[in-house]
Homo-oligomer: A and B are copies of this chain.
């Protein structure tokens, strides 16, 4: 074997350089560096040393091609520049970084369009070993396609019944929030909600409202549909919706906003009308956004970063157990994220 001269450090060294410099075969280098068994400790140490000296790292493209795995995953989100999604991505990113996986972010254009979800998945096909769908609704047909493609999938926010998922109990969230208001003595409770994007499969607002309805029913109160306003999950939407509610002659003494951001809008709306929070209006949100802390907003906290992290971990675990010949058959296991009531100053007795 002809010794390949080691390249200057600023050039890319290949496995061959390492092999010849260490006086072993490329196969051994490959094994040694990946921590595979059947490598003499002395050999492994030497190889690692040489690799470090040469600043060698396996070319991902080559190793992907040869191994059939990419050590990369994708998070598919409707958008990234929103509090919720960017936090989920942050959680996933941290886990990936830890395990040396690449993280691609992809936005699924309009999740209303069936084709787009599949198109996104197709385009990600061989570039990643698996994907996390965050609040992207997968229909049974989609799941079927994904299964045929033999892809690693984890969902956040939806239960496909097939893939692992991390979710929160949205009905319970609604109930927690409203029970808190009821306990304080509120009877006329308004809700800042939103239209379900895909009512059949994916109705976060509907579930939270359902929880609210049940809590009220338990207290012998009927939820007045007139007191449910659309806030679109945005600050501005929440502002407008709250304004509408507060302009009513029989305005509510408390408002349950399905998200903190809508609650912020409500805070401003109250101020606009000269109403004090909590003096004239109690307000409770969901999320525990940073601003909620400063604002003193009572809220039902969810641990969003953790959702992303748990999803990523589930996916990576699954990938780890994978062989080229297929995924281990695992039914969708579900991790339900914790939620807790965080009482601050925005709620009190009416």
Which residue of chain B lies nearest to A86 when distances are taken between CB atoms in the complex? B86
- Considering the complex, which residues of chain A in the window 282-332 have a beta carbon less than 8 Å from any beta carbon of chain B? 290-291, 293-296, 305
- Say which residue of B55, B65, B103, B264 sits within 8 Å of A62 (CB atoms): B65
Measured in the bound complex, the distance between the Cα atoms of B148 and A70 in whole Å is 27
Q: Are A80 and B70 in contact (CB under 8 A)?
A: no
Q: Are A236 and B290 in contact (CB under 8 A)?
A: yes
Does A90 touch B at the CB level, under 8 Å? yes
Of A27-35, A44-52, A104-112, A219-227, the one with at least 4 CB within 8 A of chain B: A104-112
Q: Are B81 and A89 in contact (CB under 8 A)?
A: yes
Measured in the bound complex, the distance between the Cα atoms of B63 and A65 in whole Å is 9
**A38-61 interface mask toward B, CB cutoff 8 Å, 1 = contact, 0 = none?**
000000000000000001010111
- Say which residue of B65, B97, B149 sits within 8 Å of A61 (CB atoms): B65
Does A126 touch B at the CB level, under 8 Å? yes
Q: Are B268 and A81 in contact (CB under 8 A)?
A: no
User: Which residues of the other chain, B, contact A55 by a CB distance below 8 angstroms?
Assistant: 122
CB of A226, distance to nearest CB on chain B (Å): 24
Q: Are A107 and B97 in contact (CB under 8 A)?
A: yes
A85-B86, A102-B127, A268-B296 known, 14 other contacts, Cβ within 8 Å: A55-B122, A57-B123, A59-B126, A61-B70, A62-B65, A80-B80, A81-B83, A86-B89, A89-B105, A97-B106, A103-B104, A104-B104, A236-B290, A268-B295
7 A-B contact pairs sorted by A residue (CB < 8 Å): A57-B126, A62-B65, A80-B86, A80-B89, A81-B89, A236-B294, A264-B294
